[in-house]
Amino acid sequence: MDRLASPERAPRVLPPRRLLALAVVLGVACALFVGTALAHSGSLGGSRQDLSVPQWLVLMTGGGAVGASFLLASFVTDRSFLRAVHDSERGLGSPVRPLVVIGRIGGVVGLVGVLVTGLFADPLGLTQPLRNLAVLVVWVGWWAGFSMTTYLVGDTWPVLNPWRTVASVLPSLDRSLPERVGSWPSVGLLLALVWLEVVSPVADDPTLLGAVVLAYTVFTVAGAAVFGTETWFSRVDPVSRVFAAYGRVAPLTVEDGRVRARVPGMALSEASWLSGRSDVAFVVALLWVTTYDGFVATPTWRGVVTPLVEAGVPAPLLYPLALVVGFVLFYGAYRLAARSGKRAADSLLTTDEVARRFAPSLLAIAAGYHVAHYLGYFLSLSPALLGALSNPFSPPPPLELVLPSWFGGVGLTFVLVGHVLAIWVAHTAAFELFPSRVQAIRSQYALTAVMVLYTMTSLLIVSQPAIEVPYL
């Protein structure tokens, strides 16, 4: 931003009144488009059995709304306005020291609780997953609930992370990780982790979950001891990197020990925290694994695998294969969009550079999709989580919150909101990257096309009933 933050000496700057009018028009138009799409699809989510609207129409309308939001964004061409929206922030002072200490202790206590109720589920008589603290804390409290706080509020994982707390008191060998390795290890580990989550019964089997958490603890603490906590948690540990990336979407960030507040998502127009191809690949991998997680539980996927399994392809092979193929496809599509954008803008920047600059916008999509995928799950199981937390060793019979039928529409809303935010952020990033505003708009054609396709893919997943992951 340093270089670009300087006030533009453009001869024409819109007067504030016109700016305000522009913002209002844009907001209303956006609401109109998204609103029409949702007013109709909202009825769809709850009553999946009797679709009143054909699915193809919902998908097309969602895609159309995202495409339209690109056209609307292209009317905002005032650089100083864009900069003002994205740079406005407020300092909120430094996090209180006792709070940090409490957070660290809480993280470690949570890890110990998960290990005890997981590994000793049999002797403690806690084998029922919905009454087991380890299962509920890991999947409902942490993977669904805590993840949501990292992009809706701020990334508190560096404080809560129990492995970082443990590793920071242990001696470190401080071996250096070669520069050319980049952050590729975290890309591989993220894919591996999601594969494990999908194919193994860790979601239902407390003892297995305890063993996996124990293995992860040993691996992470050993890794941090060899390479140092900074290197390990910023370049290798996939969990820390996921939360750090989600934290870029959030309104609250910590810079130099001070908490800062911004408009949610606006920090995504900056890409300084991404360096090189491996960081871009990580962002794409994060988007892909969130999608994959939902995709393998849809009738569409069952339709794809059934003939393959019947033809004799072993199912355990299909899952990692689909994971890797999907990632390569996503990454390839994104790079292709970046290259095509660079050509359309007649720019001499490298494709890598263009890909890096627009990568953060994908996180808004990932976050929107994550809410769509996990909010209902989190809410319906939170009474069970509270029950287990209130009495870990003899929890009350689990209660499940029954969500109203319109709730399915909430998921579709978040998918669209994430995409519209991504379009806006990429628009701003383009204006910072290219000196000509015509170049900036042209650079977005291919990226917008990819986002429209992606909207339709995620709506396809979110609008289907979730089924048991087949053939496992």
Partner 1 sequence: MSGSAEPTANDAVAVPEAGPFVCAHCGRPFAREAYLALHYGVDHDEPLDAERRAAFETAREEEEAALRQFRLKALLALVFTYFGFLMLWAVVNLLL
In the complex, the residues that contact partner 1 under the rule CB under 8 A are 1-4, 6, 8-11, 29, 33, 36, 40, 52-54, 57, 60-61, 64, 67-68, 71-72, 74-75, 77, 79, 182-183, 230-231, 233-235, 241, 244-245, 270-276, 279, 282, 346-350, 352-353, 356-357, 432-439, 441
Query: Minimum distance from CB of 157 to partner 1 (Å)?
Result: 12
Q: What DSSP letter does each residue of 314-370 carry, written as one string?
A: -HHHHHHHHHHHHHHHHHHHHHHHHHHHHHHTT--S-HHHHHHHHTTHHHHHHHHHH
Distance CA 423, CA 104 (A): 37
Kindly tell me which of 345 and 365 has the beta carbon lying closer to partner 1. 345
Query: For residue 260, which phi and psi values (nearest 5 degrees)?
Result: -125, 145
Query: Minimum distance from CB of 2 to partner 1 (Å)?
Result: 6
Query: For residue 368, which phi and psi values (nearest 5 degrees)?
Result: -60, -40
Kindly tell me which of 132 and 361 has the beta carbon lying closer to partner 1. 361
Query: Minimum distance from CB of 350 to partner 1 (Å)?
Result: 6
Distance CA 432, CA 1 (A): 9
The answer to whether the CB of 297 falls within 8 A of the CB of 377 is no
Kindly tell me which of 76 and 212 has the beta carbon lying closer to partner 1. 76
Query: Minimum distance from CB of 223 to partner 1 (Å)?
Result: 14
The answer to whether the CB of 382 falls within 8 A of the CB of 140 is yes
Which amino acid is present at 432?
A: E
Query: Minimum distance from CB of 316 to partner 1 (Å)?
Result: 32
Query: Minimum distance from CB of 289 to partner 1 (Å)?
Result: 16
Kindly tell me which of 243 and 374 has the beta carbon lying closer to partner 1. 243
3-state secondary structure of 59: helix
Query: Minimum distance from CB of 278 to partner 1 (Å)?
Result: 9
The answer to whether the CB of 209 falls within 8 A of the CB of 135 is yes
Distance CA 8, CA 324 (A): 45
3-state helix, strand, coil in the chain (%, to 5): 70, 5, 25
Query: Minimum distance from CB of 120 to partner 1 (Å)?
Result: 36
Choose among 235, 241, 339: nearest CA to 284.
Answer: 241
Question: Strand 252-255 and strand 89-91: pairing?
Answer: unpaired
Query: Minimum distance from CB of 170 to partner 1 (Å)?
Result: 19
3-state secondary structure of 259: strand
Helix axes 445-462, 407-433, angle to 10 degrees: 170
In sequence order, the β-bridge partners of residue 262 are 89
What's the residue count for the chain? 472
Kindly tell me which of 179 and 310 has the beta carbon lying closer to partner 1. 179
Label each residue of 102-133 as H, E or C: HHHHHHHHHHHHHHHHHHCHHHHCCCCHHHCH
Kindly tell me which of 29 and 100 has the beta carbon lying closer to partner 1. 29
Query: Minimum distance from CB of 256 to partner 1 (Å)?
Result: 10
Q: Which residues contact 440 (CB under 8 A, 6 or more apart)?
A: 345, 427, 430, 431, 433, 434
The answer to whether the CB of 133 falls within 8 A of the CB of 139 is no
Kindly tell me which of 302 and 343 has the beta carbon lying closer to partner 1. 343
Kindly tell me which of 25 and 112 has the beta carbon lying closer to partner 1. 25
Kindly tell me which of 117 and 156 has the beta carbon lying closer to partner 1. 156
Kindly tell me which of 191 and 429 has the beta carbon lying closer to partner 1. 429
